[in-house]
Amino acid sequence: MITRRATSESLVRGNVPQTTDPELMRELAGGEIGALGELYDRYHERVRRFVARATSDAYDVDDLVHATFLAAAKSAGRYDGRPSCRPWLIGIAAQLLRRRRQSFGRFLTVLSSLRAIRATALAPPPASDPSVDFRAAMAALDVGDNHQAAAAFVNFLEKHPRDARAEDAAYLRVIAFQRSGDSAGTKQAALEYLRRYPAGFRQAEVEPLSR
């Protein structure tokens, strides 16, 4: 009469011996595919319960269980020979869980960065100060950087078309091109001035430059 339950997980009901876990792992390391099925039959419920406690996503549970046994098959040759594979399989599952969480954490970090970049790209540019822009254009003109001055006056006119200094900027753009010796640029700037300000204060001075 049996007075206690067999504790070895390598025995089936009726005390009929079956392949022990170390033997099963040796077979699996040797390429015996049936050994993987036997290992899965013995321990997949235990591994699944462990994973289910660690994650609430049912799809993750199934994926991680399968991944655990595939990882076990790949590393069967490194099995340490302990009588039961259960702790070893649980350890593999725990490692896979940690890696998945780390990967998900990195994904969230990248996603957050992309959202920040997108928000920055979609945000309107900060309004520039017309006084600062006008002084920058004048500074370039004063030091003889005429092409830079012309570009700066264009920038001023585009950003601040209603500013009180807009007509001055349009005129000074003509002067900047004239000083640089760019006749085509001078003519274009003069025509633009006359178009914007047909009754401008400097019409008489600019008109000859438009021809």
Q: Class assignment of domain 21-121?
A: mainly alpha
Positions of the chain with pLDDT under 50: 1-16
For residues 92 and 204, give the distance between their C-alpha atoms in angstroms, rounded to a whole number: 87
| Burial class of residue 42 (count of CB atoms within 10 Å of its CB; 0-12, 13-18, 19+) | buried
CATH 3.20.20.70 assigned to domain 130-210? The reply is no
Q: Domains of the chain: which residue ranges?
A: 21-121, 130-210
Q: Calculate the CA 92 to chain-centre distance.
A: 29
- At 57 the pLDDT is 65
Separation in Å, CA 181 to CA 175, 185, 188, 202: 10, 9, 13, 20
- Of the candidates 183, 187, 179, which has an alpha carbon nearest to the alpha carbon of residue 206? 187
- At 150 the pLDDT is 87
- At 40 the pLDDT is 93
- At 47 the pLDDT is 92
User: pLDDT by residue (tens digit) across 134-162?
Assistant: 888 888 888 888 888 888 888 889 888 88
- At 115 the pLDDT is 72
Separation in Å, CA 91 to CA 20, 87, 88: 19, 6, 5
